[in-house]
A and B are shown apart, each in its own frame.
Chain A
Amino acid sequence: MINLFFKILLMPLIALIGIVVGLFYKGIDRILVARMQSRVGPPIIQPFLDVKKLLIKENIVPNHAVKWIFNLMPVIALSSSIVILLYLPLGGIEPLLEGHGDVLLVLYLFIFPTLALVLGGFSSGSPYANIGAGREIIKFMSYELPLAVVVISIVWLLSSVNIENIFSLSVISSNPPWTLVGPAGFMGLLLLFLILLFVMPGELGLVPFDAPQAESEIAGGILAEYSGRNLALFYLADAVKTIAVESLIIALFLPWGLSKLLGLSGEFGLLIDTLFFLAKLFVLTFVGSTFIRVAVARFRINQVIYVYWTHCLLIALCGLVLVGVDVAL
């Protein structure tokens, strides 16, 4: 009971850490994008200033909007993004709700921020938001399949080497898949990792998969009618979801800590592991968000479906087959 009470007390702390780290990495992302485009870029605290600015702006609700859904969905989007963090290992720390939810629950919880965004768009009563919401749900249907294939492949690999509690994220992050396979399996895992890196910008609505929010085309799409504190909540949800997605990728493919390698333990080992986790977050932010955003243009929504359902799905299935062949051998 005391343990449960302690966990409940820590939930707001995890929420605060998720928000602060998410906004911090957003700031880093914006500076890197600017420098890669030969611009100076905003200060690193710009996302914090953006949230502060949005909170003092008017919270306009359009005439034709369904008011209660319009106001509720930003709350649901941010809440569900934060709850995902409670089930993920962060740095050298076990998930706060360890033993209360597995990786499949995390996959299901990733649906909620997207659905909140879609429902918020449809409730806006705006043609642009309508189009954006339709595109968002099409994109969601597209990337879920390769994502599921990747996660199930990892879990299946763990089950084939007779590890127990294969769906537990603590167990998954304690057994790096790269150490369980030979050359064929290594290639398979590499393909699966690449596909997950490709699913990440889709999950986060980044270029080239930002057709639902296409600023230059449909004036912000889903979020066209949002302003003030509601828009601030969606902004925060986006920042927290970035950390959640990257934490999942780290738990599945890059779970190592430095403390064991350096022979450290206790608080100092935890600090080293946390710093290493932040470094991994930075690498994933750069590769999955910054670099792709600067390098490529936006896909049309029909191209998004084609890319995820053909190329990404086929490559993910090839990865699964290679892992299967390695296990069979």
Chain B
Amino acid sequence: MEWILRTEAGFWNPLMLFVSLVIIIGLVYLIRSFGEKKYKKGTEQTRYFFSGAPAPKGIKVSDIYWGFFVHMDTYYKWLKRLHTGVVNEYVYWFILTLTVILIILTLGDLL
């Protein structure tokens, strides 16, 4: 039984990928086993490093996204403007996107 999955021109073998991952993970765990396992639990060294400043309290899980909001600010402002909350406009966007995709597919077929 052939395990290779093929498309028009591409191919891959998920079983071989899985087998190779398992073997390499085993090898990596072997390398890891040569390392020191122990550390001093519950001491100063297990507190996270914050340049010596007191650890900030009450960091929420939503703060994880702070970096994205700050660095992609322009993109998020544009997205927020698009989200008017009016259902009709979302339907128009859907139809517009579908139209563009259909045009691309049709042109692709024709060419």
Contacts and interface: CB of A to CB of B under 8 A. Distances in A.
Given A61-B46, A126-B49, 7 more contacts: A12-B23, A60-B39, A63-B47, A105-B17, A138-B68, A168-B11, A302-B72
Interface in B9-49: 9-13, 16-17, 19-21, 23-25, 27-29, 31-32, 34-40, 42, 45-49
Interface in B38-65: 38-40, 42, 45-51, 56, 59, 63-65
Q: Which of B20, B29, B50 has the most CB of A within 10 A?
A: B20
Contact of A100 (B13, B36, B42, B51): B13
A292 interface: no
B31 A236 contact: yes
Contacts of A259: none
Which 4 pairs from chain A and chain B are nearest by CB? A229-B35, A134-B67, A126-B48, A100-B13
Interface of B: 4, 9-13, 16-17, 19-21, 23-25, 27-29, 31-32, 34-40, 42, 45-51, 56, 59, 63-68, 71-73
Contacts of B27: 11-12, 15, 79, 82
A96 B30 CA distance: 22
Given A15-B24, A55-B36, A233-B32, A124 B10 contact: no
Contacts, number: 151
Given A63-B46, A134-B66, A100 B16 contact: yes
Given A55-B36, A101-B12, A128-B50, A60 B45 contact: yes
Contact of B24 (A11, A130, A159): A11
Contacts of B48: 62-64, 124-129, 224-225
Interface class of chain A by DSSP: helix
A79 B28 contact: yes
Interface string A111-132: 0000000000010111111110
Nearest to B38: A58
A160 interface: no
Nearest to B34: A55
A295 interface: no
Contacts of A225: 48-49
Contacts of B64: 122, 130, 134
B23 to A, nearest CB: 5
A232 B34 CA distance: 11
A159 B9 contact: yes
Interface string A49-91: 0000011111111111000000000111011101100100000
